[in-house]
Structure 1
Amino acid sequence: MSQWLTLLQKEMLENWRNFKWIWVPITFILIGVQQPITDYYLPQIIDSLGEMPKGAVIKIPTPSAGEVLVQSLGQYTTIGVLIIVLSTMGIIAAERKSGVAAMILVKAVSYRSYLIAKWFGSLILMWFSFFIGYAATWYYTGILFKWVPAGDFFQSFFIYGLWLTVILTITVFFSAVLLSPGIAGFVSLAVIIVLSLVTSSLSHWLEWSPAQLGTYASEILLSKGISDYLLPTSLLAGLLLVILLVLSIVIFRKKELAT
């Protein structure tokens, strides 16, 4: 345990030196405040563009507070996922390529402790960034529109955070399997996109897919209640995390011992 904690402290310090503790949270905050501010000032933005026919009136329905938060989650699904992949794709692959990983592992450091510390350090950064970004969304939505109940906010936060955890773990897996950070990031994005597209296309047959977690989080915000499939989907997502981490350790260990 002491070895793992030491590696985790090293990872947290490395994230600070790489300014990840600055630019990742700031990016998530910008993503979070963008949607409620844009929705609120959209009529004024359209009016400022001018060149509208005289007497033309554009009526834009005011979205509900829940709809604003759902749209914000959509931003995290695109830009947020990209940020997670970009900030995670090199945590193992880059150190393997530079030889840093071999220097650490030769010092009686277990492969499991090394990889789990990497994963957990990135997980802390991701959850912290997502929380302050999503909290900013909730705050501005409450100020500009209407307050979403705190219970709905936290439920959607944890449900969607589990989906982001799956995304991060997929990226860590390919970072451990592949030597190039760029290729690891590309393959991770491809897998995530395919999983999301297949799930959305076959949603009635893939109710338990982890990619449905975003939908279930949105349903809570839209006052549709908690889906009956949320529990099995969450359990399947948890099982997927364990499988990916175990495979990451096994494959990473074999590749390092073979070099």
Structure 2
Amino acid sequence: MRAYFAFTKKELTEYTRNFKLFLAITLFALFGIMNPLTAKFLPDLLANFMPKGITILIAEPTNLDSWMQFFKNGTQTGLFLIVILLSGMMAKEYEKGTLINMVTKGLPRRTILFAKFTGALLLWTVSYWLCFFITWGYTLYYFPDGTTENLALAVVSLYLFGILLIAVLLLGAVLFKNAYGPLLFTGAFLMVLFLWNLFPKASEWNPLVLASRNMDMLQRALLLADLQKALLTAALLTVSALLAAVKIFKKTGL
């Protein structure tokens, strides 16, 4: 355990030195501020920029519009950003050969991978929940009368999907000793999830629903009972990706 905590500390230190932690926190904090601001003032901006003589009817913004922006930025930009930042989590280690000395001195390979996963998970956790709490605070400020049901389910679902992507990205980082391979591998995984939805009877098992139907969760069109199969699949895929990464890493050269 001591080696695990030491290597995890090393990962977090590197995230600080290469500014990945600063970049992730800054951008996710910016998202958190922009989500409610966009919902609040976008109708006024659209009205001001419309040509004279053209009138559009826009409903009064609500707190749901703020959370719509949160999930839009979280899935389209936030997850993409995290995957980009973490795509080279193993590439530099392979390039510099820093893992050779550690392994020859007795550091278990699974410890290296679990420490890598923990560091990446902490980066995602801090960034994501910072964005959430900032959005939550500003949403309460701008829309004090709004009520949001099932918010915890919607937010946690997207967070869990992010954990799944990190596990898949780590597996890709073990399979390919560069920064591009893991990106392509994760993209291929997402493509499989999208194709999965072509089969209606199997779509309820698709973990993609955790990141694509969050607004349905807020509007109670999708409840926890409806997500049990998708959550189970996400858990199994996460564990399977981690176990596969450990097994492959034990056999691969450094």
Asked if 1:125 corresponds to 2:126, the answer is no
2:179 — aligned with what? 181
Paired AA for residue 115 in structure 1: L
Gaps of 5+ in 2: none
In 2, Cα distance between the equivalents of 1:204 and 1:61?
Answer: 36
Match for residue 166 of structure 1 among 164, 167, 170: 164
Structure 1 residues 65 and 203: CA distance shift in structure 2, 3 A: farther
Q: How many residues align?
A: 254
Structure 1 residues 203 and 148: CA distance shift in structure 2, 3 A: farther
In 2, Cα distance between the equivalents of 1:247 and 1:255?
Answer: 12
Q: TM-score, normalised by structure 1?
A: 0.88
Q: 1:237-248 alignment to 2 at 5 Å?
A: 237-248=234-245
1:73 — aligned with what? 71
In 1, Cα distance between the equivalents of 2:147 and 2:109?
Answer: 44
Question: Could you report, residue by residue, the CA deviation over 1:55-97 in whole angstroms, capped at 9, with x for unpaired residues?
Answer: x322211343234313321221111121111111111122112
2:229 — aligned with what? 232
Q: TM-score, normalised by structure 2?
A: 0.90
Structure 1 residues 210 and 18: CA distance shift in structure 2, 3 A: same
CA positional deviation for 1:25: 1.4
1:13 — aligned with what? 13
1:46 — aligned with what? 46
In 1, Cα distance between the equivalents of 2:72 and 2:197?
Answer: 14
Gaps of 5+ in 1: none
1:153 — aligned with what? 151
In 2, Cα distance between the equivalents of 1:93 and 1:147?
Answer: 49
Paired AA for residue 24 in structure 1: A
Match for residue 221 of structure 1 among 209, 218, 235: 218
* Percent identity between the two aligned chains: 23
2:136 — aligned with what? 138
CA positional deviation for 1:204: 5.1
Paired AA for residue 95 in structure 1: E
Q: After alignment, is 165-174 or 197-206 more displaced?
A: 197-206
In 2, Cα distance between the equivalents of 1:49 and 1:64?
Answer: 22
Structure 1 residues 147 and 73: CA distance shift in structure 2, 3 A: farther
Paired AA for residue 239 in structure 1: L
In 2, Cα distance between the equivalents of 1:175 and 1:248?
Answer: 9
Q: After alignment, is 178-187 or 141-150 more displaced?
A: 141-150
- Partner-residue secondary structure (3-state), 1:109: coil
Q: After alignment, is 98-107 or 245-254 more displaced?
A: 98-107
CA positional deviation for 1:39: 2.2
1:86 — aligned with what? 84
Question: Could you report, residue by residue, the CA deviation over 1:224-245 in whole angstroms, capped at 9, with x for unpaired residues?
Answer: 3514232222122111111101
CA positional deviation for 1:157: 2.1
Contact kept, 8 Å, 1:89 with 1:185, in 2: the verdict is yes
